Structure 1
Amino acid sequence: MKTSKRLELAISKLYTAFHNNTLNPECCQQCAVGNILDNTDSWKHLSDAHGSLKLNYIGKVHQSLGRQFNGYSPLELLKIEHIFLTACGFQLPLHYNNSKPEHPTNKDVLFNGLSAVIAYLCELDGVENVMDYTKLFKGNTKKTIQALV
């Protein structure tokens, strides 16, 4: 499957962060977008609230100028973060009064967020979801199971 450079880099960074325990939905440098943007938090100035899909003035200027950050537009970055936080179980936008998962850095919680983000990144680039494992189980189930054993 042919993928874009931005998709390969983003997936690599997210995968590394997940396995190195440096993926944290509550930190702008270690969340999905923070990791895609090399652990910087400058992207948080594109919106007024963490998890919002609405660009602020700065975000609108960057968007209208066609600015991209590691290959992604400001709107795409906000959508990536929104998907990640929602899949992790956060009520958005992030606020201390809003509900959140009991253990936000639990591997199961993070995996849900990671899977949702990777599905969206693949959709953006028009490729099949690289994490879709259902094809492994299509067809002759007995042969598939025997091949795995």
Structure 2
Amino acid sequence: MPKSKGKSHKGKRRVYATEPEELKPQQNRDLPPGSDEEEEDEESGNSSGEEGSSKAKGVEGLIDIENPNRAQAKVKKVSQLDTDAAPKVELSRREREEIKRQQDRIKYEKLRAEGKTEEARADLARLAIIRKEREAKAKEREASKKAAEEKKSTTTKDSGRTTSKK
């Protein structure tokens, strides 16, 4: 391993003294077998037209084993896409409970509007009592108005008589 010149200090640039002859064996050791031939073909210009499709990208040329965890692009037909397009989505427990609560509330409001719940029956009974009381008060007001009118009419008749007597 090449040594650096001087002490290495934090933040300072490190300079390594390595000869290019020392680097070539390391580079050749890192290359896959048969890559020397490809480099020679590219340099001489004798490469074929199908080279782009057969040439491995990245590490694919180095490793022959397929990784089962690696996602492969699968070709699907249009008919399969339509059936897979709308997968059934499962709701979480909280979402299911919230939907159930909303449905129960709507059902309860509908029954209450029809008067089939205990609360609705109590409300209707209360309303009936209030209506009766209002009707009784309206009759009392009507009777008091009639009494006031009769009293006025009798006093105006009496006042007319008294003035005529003088």
Q: Which band: TM-score by shorter chain?
A: under 0.3
Bigger-Rg structure (1/2): 2
Question: Which structure is higher in RCO with an 8 Å CA cutoff and minimum separation 6?
Answer: 1
The two structures have a TM-score, normalised by structure 2, of 0.19
The two structures have a TM-score, normalised by structure 1, of 0.21
Point out the structure with the larger helix share. Answer: 2
